[in-house]
Structure 1
């Protein structure tokens, strides 16, 4: 009887240990997990590299149909008893105007991102990023909206974007994830990302430093107009630059003062951004003598030493509101003067013609 009890206890112990090990593996590894995610656009290894922590990778939600380019998914990595912080990322295709990253409030502070250089257009930070599909894919891949597939309009392009809802990622690893997802989207669409086997390099943001209102963004001659500052609300603060003049370049001016306002500037000669698709967005007007096109105080495309160069300025909502509180005339004068100063200084770096920003 004693030997039977011992055998039963051993059997129970083995079963308990086996169950515990099984549960541990289920909670903390990808054993018997899915072999692909996001309708085949991402693999477990893609996600494990970007969500670089311990735990099991699992799908939270997924939309789309295998074989179609468009997709939307949310994936998380969680663990038990390991003390690892949970991570969650949303990845999907979307359509925007080509210069969306420089002009939309949802992608504010563009100089905090690292810009991809090489054959792929995009940018990443520790918690968000995007990669643009080439224009050859424009009418072949779109996004999923209200349960329906929608291709981009004539003035839009398609991107693959990611946002980490929990946790942060190494920017280079998030870039790798986005490039791989974008490559599979283009494969499904019957076009090519054009990245080849070359891993895109990142041009990271510089350190934030004190704003020099006489030479903003480290650019000689780029002066912040005196009327752009408002005592107590908008005072000289800090600036940060990211990217390179040879590809995409951005600069954020973060003002001190109670308004906590920000103005961002950008330039790019990337043909994936500066092209006929961009020119189809509403607002463009021709400049005299074939110098290029301009859209108010926010965008210009100039013909500079044989190539088209984009120049952009975006005031955040807070700064616009503060200026408008001082009167529409104040906003108009400041916006015109600031964009003019930027065009004059940045244009010299690209060999651009001197242009006059028209007053609206």
Structure 2
């Protein structure tokens, strides 16, 4: 006969088997939680850097900054310090063959870098960073000067970064961040830290365009009348920056696979200008700021010069310098 007490116990989930069922439920919940935690921890280990070191590559950069330079996405960052001046960063996920690698190096460039004759490493086709750790970069790599540091033998301390071992590019802004971070860390280690990253500004390239022969590189008065490609092709130019901030301009013959035949620069960043010390370029003061008017002309033999009507280096420099000084109202 069912009593009120029996009904109460049964309805409340009681009875002789209730404690065992409750223990099984608690055990199942604990096991589920453990699986979730294990899975979450495994995911975090292989797809994030939450369990890794705060800084890598001799302390130059954070794992997140290195991952951003490689294009970001899920994956774990590891770093191998190949030498006292180099490091290889790898971004690895679950799938094999999806590794991305970044080479990061502290280097001592030859005197004249980045404006060595015939080997300019400031291209109007890449963004140029000024201020803290000035340099250039794109999705495949970049470099930055180490702020305020000077080599005793005329060498130029810098940082280089390159995406290696893959066809896919990294990320341009991530590359900017990683070379800036590394350059500033090296400068701090050497006791010659320059301005912090808040002083930085970026000059962005324009789209390639036809050159106005009466206003080459957008500079009023800079004229190259009659200059054409060997087969009569037009001139093309690409510009990064402006006269007021600093201007970098590449001039090419349309369709020429050899690239620019002339490069021009109005260098106003103090650290960039310092690399040109001792070079035979015009140095002027414009609005109270030291400015270097630099140029580089590809070698053209007599027949090429006759066919293209490109002035010789001295005349080209004079024409460019006079126009730039006039446009900037330099004293």
TM range (shorter): 0.7 to 0.9
- How many residue pairs were aligned? 295
Aligned-pair Cα RMSD in Å:
3.7
User: What is residue 324 of structure 1 aligned with on the other side?
Assistant: 301
Q: Counterpart in 1 of 2:75? A: 55
CA distance in 2, matches of 1:40, 1:175: 17
Verify: 1:311 aligned to 2:301, yes or no: no
Q: What residue in structure 1 maps to residue 236 of structure 2? A: 238
1:287-335 residue CA offsets vs partner (Å, 9 max, x unmatched): xxxxxxxx2xxx33234454431111123xxx42xx2262799999432
Equivalence map 1:336-347=2 (5 Å): 336-347=314-325
The residue that corresponds to 1:350 in the other structure is 328
The reply to whether residue 279 of structure 1 matches residue 261 of structure 2 is no
C-alpha contact (below 8 Å) 2:132/2:180 kept by paired residues: no
Give 2:156's aligned residue.
Answer: 157
Q: How does 1:12-91 map to 2 (within 5 A)?
A: 27-30=46-49, 33-51=52-70, 52-60=72-80, 62-64=82-84, 71-81=85-95, 86-91=99-104
Partner of 1:209: 209
Is the 1:102–1:110 Cα contact (8 Å) retained in structure 2? no
Contact 2:249/2:264 (<8 A) preserved: yes
Tell me the secondary structure at the aligned position of residue 56 of structure 2. coil
Cα pair distance change 1:309/1:258, threshold 3 Å: closer
Separation in 2 of the partners of 1:105 and 1:80?
45
Question: 1:291 — aligned with what?
Answer: none
Structure 1 residues 188, 98: closer, same or farther in 2, change over 3 A?
same
Tell me the alpha carbon deviations over residues 161-189 of structure 1, each in whole angstroms, 9 at most, x when there is no partner: 22223443433332222222122112211
Tell me, in whole angstroms, the C-alpha distance in 2 between the residues paired with 1:257 and 1:49.
34
Aligned residue for 2:264, secondary structure, equals strand
What stretches of structure 2 of length at least 5 have no aligned partner? 1-34
Is there any run of 5+ residues in structure 1 with no aligned partner, and where? 1-15, 65-70, 139-151, 285-294, 354-360
Q: How far did residue 92 of structure 1 move?
A: 1.6
Following TM superposition, by how much is the alpha carbon of 1:212 offset from its aligned partner in structure 2, in angstroms? Answer: 1.9
TM-score, normalising length: structure 2: 0.73
Residue 101 in 1 paired to residue 121 in 2? no
TM-score, L = length of structure 1:
0.68
Question: 1:103/1:265 Cα in 2 relative to 1: closer, same or farther (>3 Å)?
Answer: farther
Aligned to 1:192: 193
Deviation of residue 265 (structure 1)? 0.9
Does residue 256 of the first structure (1) align with residue 233 of the second (2)?
A: no
Post-superposition CA distance 1:121-161 (Å, at most 9, x none): 233222222222233x32xxxxxxxxxxxxx2443331222
Q: Which position in structure 1 is the counterpart of 2:13?
A: none
Structure 2 match to 1:174: 175
Residues 38, 63 of structure 1: 8 Å contact kept: no
Counterpart CA distance in 2 for 1:301 and 1:215 is 22
The answer to whether 1:125 aligns with 2:138 is yes
Once residues 255 and 337 of structure 1 are traced to their aligned partners in structure 2, the CA distance between those partners, rounded to angstroms, is: 19
How much has 1:343 moved relative to structure 2?
Answer: 1.0
Classify the secondary structure of the residue corresponding to 1:111.
coil
